[in-house]
Amino acid sequence: MEHYRFDGKKLALSEKEWKARLTPEQYHILRESGTECAFDNAYFDLKKSGLFCCRACGLPLFQSRAKFDSGTGWPSFTHPIFPENVTYSEDTRASCSRTEVLCSRCGSHLGHVFDDGPAPSGKRYCLNSGALIFQEASK
């Protein structure tokens, strides 16, 4: 499990390299802080066991056991695998101030975190499926 911890090595690519690596929708979400439609995305209702990793760089971010049904239509989690795997930024692009969640390795936009999640963390990491890639646990 320790090998999932962010090692401090950043991934920096040019915009041209990001565009070659990602689909237009993934690029919009990850590099332009976009979002996807609620209830019409890959992982909001996924119930399999495994890891959710950053789609841009592959850093493991959340375990399926931290996932819960928030009723929002986006995949929601109570906490990251390791706190250092995600970073935060104030997001004032909407009509209110929110806390943006970013991948620590590549700086890609993942979604937002709110203080209305279940105990014990009280957090709701509301993320875009397009920002994630799921790795199913081996059986």
| Range of weakest confidence among 72-76, 84-88, 96-100, 112-116 | 96-100
Concerning whether 53 is annotated as a catalytic residue, the answer is no
- Provide the pLDDT for residue 104: 98
- Provide the pLDDT for residue 131: 98
Given 53, 103, 106, 126, the catalytic residue: 126
- Provide the pLDDT for residue 32: 96
Q: Where are the beta strands (DSSP E) in the chain?
A: 50-54, 60-63, 67-68, 76-77, 86-91, 98-103, 109-114, 124-127, 132-136
Mean pLDDT score, 116-125: 94
Domains of the chain, by residue range, sit at: 14-136
Residue 97 above 90 pLDDT?
no
- For the segment 68-94, what is each residue's pLDDT rounded down to a tens digit? 999 999 999 999 999 999 999 988 777
- DSSP, collapsed to helix, strand or coil, labels residue 131 as helix
- For the segment 16-59, what is each residue's pLDDT rounded down to a tens digit? 999 999 999 999 999 999 999 999 999 999 999 999 999 999 99
The listed CATH number (1.10.10.10, 2.30.42.10, 2.60.120.470, 2.170.150.20) that belongs to domain 14-136: 2.170.150.20
Residues 6+ apart with CB under 8 A from 58: 133
**CA–CA distance, 14 with 92 (Å, rounded to integer):** 25
Comparison of pLDDT for 87 and 120, the residue scoring more: 87
CB atoms within 10 A of CB 128: 27
Is the C-alpha dihedral spanning 135, 38, 130, 114 positive or negative? negative
Q: How far apart are the first and last CA of the chain?
A: 17
Residue 7 pLDDT level (bands cut at 50, 70, 90): very high
**CA–CA distance, 121 with 83 (Å, rounded to integer):** 12
- DSSP, collapsed to helix, strand or coil, labels residue 57 as coil
